[in-house]
Amino acid sequence: MKHIDTEEQFNDIIQSDEPVIVKFFADWCPDCKRMDMFIGDVMDEFNNYDWYEINSDEVKGMAEKYEVMGIPSILIFKDGEKLAHQHSADTKTPESVSEFLHQQLA
């Protein structure tokens, strides 16, 4: 998973004409650490997509702009638009994340 360090970099990445998957997280977030334990398997399943992560504490304003109220959250972007958003309450298991991606990217 590639790390996004700036708002400019984020804006460039989401302009892709293919869907890109972005994980919003923070270092202090226990659920984010839990997700890190299983997200590799989900990434393997969806390895034909580019995966990115953005620390919502480091890159200010991005979480608010895209209505990320809880972390971790998984968002899918294409052509600069947010296509889908899996909120933190639904990102607790690899099955729930995988199911969300299957529904949105099928």
Q: Which amino acid is at 51?
A: W
Token code pair at residue 21: 């998957």
Would you please indicate which residues are annotated as catalytic (active-site) residues? 29, 32
Alpha helix stretches (DSSP H) within 1-106: 7-13, 30-45, 62-65, 94-105
d(CA 60, CA 44): 29
Under a CB-based contact definition with an 8 Å cutoff, are residues 46 and 18 in contact?
Answer: no
